Amino acid sequence: MDGNKRTAFEVADFLLRHEGYYIDARDEEIIKILIEIAKYKCSEERIIEWLKRNSRQLHSRE
């Protein structure tokens, strides 16, 4: 996975964590979706659905 894909993933993960969520997916699943995005074979709707399916809420700190 090249630098642009890694950076895009890290930014998405950072933003989700900032909002109280994290990405919970196997490396293979992450690489697959990032390659689809890089090849322009992935719609915005598919990315949103993937993130919804593979995001989990962080445990509260209370």
Residue 62 lies in a domain: no
Looking at the structure of the chain, the number of domains it has is: 1
Q: Is residue 11 part of a domain?
A: yes
- pLDDT at res. 5: 75
Helices 27-38 and 3-18: angle between axes, nearest 10 degrees: 110
Per-residue pLDDT reduced to its tens digit, 7-57? 888 999 999 999 999 999 999 999 899 889 888 899 999 999 999 999 999
42 domain residue, yes or no: yes
Domain, as residue range, for 47: 3-57
Q: Per DSSP, what are the bridge partners of residue 55?
A: 23
Give the length of the chain.
62
Residue 1 confidence (pLDDT): 56
Is 28 inside any structural domain? yes
Question: Any residues with CB less than 8 A from the CB of 20 and at least 6 apart, and which?
Answer: 57, 58
3-state helix, strand, coil in the chain (%, to 5): 60, 10, 30
